[in-house]
């Protein structure tokens, strides 16, 4: 019996184009100015050091770090210091009302209905926990953070690795088999299934098939079907 849901964000409950065409370009545009202004603040300096460690260039200057980060944004790399910095930058955009957190209406209705049925809701996204909370705080539906019990990002590991799901399950008061993982990416679902979670593949473009149970939206999803 499903007692909890662990959901991806981009492509699952949020339109991919909101992330690719709104959030990523905003972060790319603001990144250099943000880093030049804030590089010495502890929470930003920590991410700069992490970038230098990943590229194995301990003496890289700030302009080199900026250039690496811009390449990572272009290539949609899910690298933790990039995702942490994007979250910090998006905060200004949300606070200034430059954009709102997009959610598919069927996803919002589904999450709200599950919450009302006492199903615990968790989020696992490559976007940082800060970025996740901002999206839900400034969502099309107002501040909906209270729907969620907890949030996980790549600090627990990469989404295509089974170990990340083991780590999440260790932190939840549920067995893996009681948790339904929602994602638009088959490799993520494979990793979650290997960790013992139930899976549901969201295929928003409507065409492809999947080795996992799949739907094109949440309209007719019933948790009883996952036994
Ligand atoms: C939390 S909103 C920003 C999403 C993001 O940065 C991203 O990389 C999306 O990854 P996901 O794991 O949600 O598909
Ligand atoms: Mg996704």
The enclosing domain of 140 has a CATH number of 3.40.50.1000
Q: pLDDT tens, 144-185? A: 999 999 999 999 999 999 999 999 999 999 999 999 999 999
CA distance linking residue 11 with residue 189, whole number of Å? 13
Of the residues 46, 62, 95, the one at which a domain ends: 95
Task: State which ligand 1 atom lies nearest to the alpha carbon of 76.
Answer: 8
On whether both 12 and 26 belong to a single domain, the answer is: no
Calculate what percentage of the chain has a pLDDT beyond 70. 100
Q: How far is the CA of 125 from the centre of ligand 1 (A)?
A: 5
Give the global pTM. 0.94
The answer to whether 122 and 150 are in contact (CB under 8 A) is yes
Question: Which residue is associated with the tokens 């069927």?
Answer: 106
Calculate what percentage of the chain has a pLDDT beyond 90. 97
Of the residues 64, 95, 126, the one at which a domain ends: 95
Task: State which ligand 1 atom lies nearest to the alpha carbon of 184.
Answer: 14
Strand partners, 120: 4
On whether both 70 and 136 belong to a single domain, the answer is: no
Strand partners, 202: 215
Q: Which domain holds residue 143?
A: 4-16+101-225
The pair of three-digit structure tokens given for residue 106, joined into one six-digit string: 């069927």
Of the residues 61, 95, 129, the one at which a domain ends: 95
Residue from 91, 125, 164 to probe ligand 1 pocket by mutation (most atoms less than 8 Å from CB): 125
CA distance linking residue 82 with residue 77, whole number of Å? 8
| CATH number of the domain to which 31 belongs | 1.10.720
Measured between its terminal Cα atoms, the distance across the chain in Å is 6
Residue of the CA atom closest to atom 4 of ligand 1: 127
Q: How far is the CA of 61 from the centre of ligand 2 (A)?
A: 33
Number of structural domains found in the chain: 2
On whether both 144 and 60 belong to a single domain, the answer is: no
Residues within 6 Å of ligand 1 by CB: 8-11, 19, 23, 78, 83, 86, 125-127, 131-132, 135, 159
On whether both 78 and 106 belong to a single domain, the answer is: no
Q: pLDDT tens, 181-221? A: 999 999 999 999 999 999 999 999 877 789 999 999 999 99
Strand partners, 215: 202
């Amino acid at each position: 019996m499903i007692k909890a849901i662990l959901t991806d964000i981009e492509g699952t409950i949020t339109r991919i184009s909101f992330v690719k065409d709104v959030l990523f370009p905003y972060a790319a545009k603001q990144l250099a100015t943000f880093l030049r202004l804030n590089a010495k603040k502890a929470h930003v300096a920590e991410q700069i050091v992490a970038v230098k460690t990943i590229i194995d260039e301990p003496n890289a200057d700030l302009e080199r770090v900026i250039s690496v980060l811009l390449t990572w944004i272009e290539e949609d790399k899910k690298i933790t210091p990039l995702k942490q910095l994007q979250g910090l930058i998006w905060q200004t955009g949300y606070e200034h009302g430059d954009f709102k957190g997009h959610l598919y209406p069927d996803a919002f209705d589904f999450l709200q209905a599950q919450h009302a049925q006492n199903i615990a809701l968790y989020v696992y996204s490559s976007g940082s926990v800060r970025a996740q909370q901002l999206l839900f705080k400034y969502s099309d539906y107002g501040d909906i953070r209270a729907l969620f019990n907890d949030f996980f990002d790549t600090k627990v590991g990469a989404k295509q690795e089974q170990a990340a799901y083991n780590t999440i399950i260790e932190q939840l008061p549920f067995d893996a088999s009681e948790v339904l993982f929602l994602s638009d990416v088959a490799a993520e679902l494979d990793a979650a299934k290997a960790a013992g979670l139930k899976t549901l593949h969201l295929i928003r473009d409507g065409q492809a098939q999947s080795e996992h149970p799949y739907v094109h939206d949440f309209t007719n999803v019933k948790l009883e079907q996952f036994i």
